[in-house]
Structure 1
Amino acid sequence: MSNMSIDQVLAQMRVLRDQASGPAAEAGNGVDFSALLKQSVDQVNEVQQQAGKLAESFEAGQTDASLAEVMVSLQKANVSFQGMVQVRNKLVDAYKDVMNMSI
């Protein structure tokens, strides 16, 4: 069976929630939007890199991680990437709306 418990998963979800709400609170204090966007993209990239490395090491039998941990990390990477794509789509839509405004 898996050595991951529900408490560990919930704790990770709470940490991610707190991390996600952190930059939003700082945005009101004059944080540069481009820096915030770059930081978010870098975090998504880091999550994907870590998940890929964990999956490769699991396939090679070089880690003690369970299959459930590998799958959870891959799903986290997928969800974070999909969220980033949705944000990009909204930004593109907003840009199109601004460009179509009459002066």
Structure 2
Amino acid sequence: MKIEAVNQNLLLGNYTLQENINTEKNNNFITFLKDALSEVDALQKEASFSASKLVLGEEEYLHNTMLAYEKANLALQLTIEVRNKLVEAYQEIMRIQM
């Protein structure tokens, strides 16, 4: 019975394909994080702008400004919690012994 050698081009091609898939997933995750941070930043700027309008007398209702600040605050708290979970997961992975 003859055993044939494994074609190395197949192995390298499969590795390259897997590497491209991993790179694409990383880019999607990075894009998702950037978009989320941009939204949080936009909410912070909106709250600041609303407060400026209130101080200048251009905004009649205090509750609109308070809602904008609460939205921004909740978004920031969520972002901090996500960061904490990511750091915690990273630390857990680093503790794994091989």
Q: TM-score scaled by structure 1?
A: 0.67
1:57 Cα offset (Å)? 1.2
Which residue number in structure 2 is paired with residue 51 of structure 1? 47
Q: 2:97 — aligned with what?
A: 102
- In the superposition, the TM-score normalised over structure 2's length comes to 0.70
Q: Return structure 1 stretches of 4+ with deviation > 4 angstroms.
A: none
Match 2:35 to one of 35, 39, 42: 39
C-alpha displacement at 1:59, in angstroms? 0.8
Structure with larger RCO (C-alpha < 8 A, sep 6+): 1
Higher helix share: 2
- Where 1:74 maps in the other structure, the secondary structure is helix
CA RMSD, Structure 1 to Structure 2 (Å) = 1.3
Based on CA coordinates, which of the two structures has the bigger radius of gyration?
A: 2
- Rounded Cα–Cα distance in structure 2 between residues aligned with 1:54 and 1:73: 7
Select the residue among 82, 94, 97 that pairs with 2:77.
82
1:96 shift after superposition: 0.3
| Amino-acid identity (%) | 32
Deviation at 1:60, TM superposition (A): 1.1
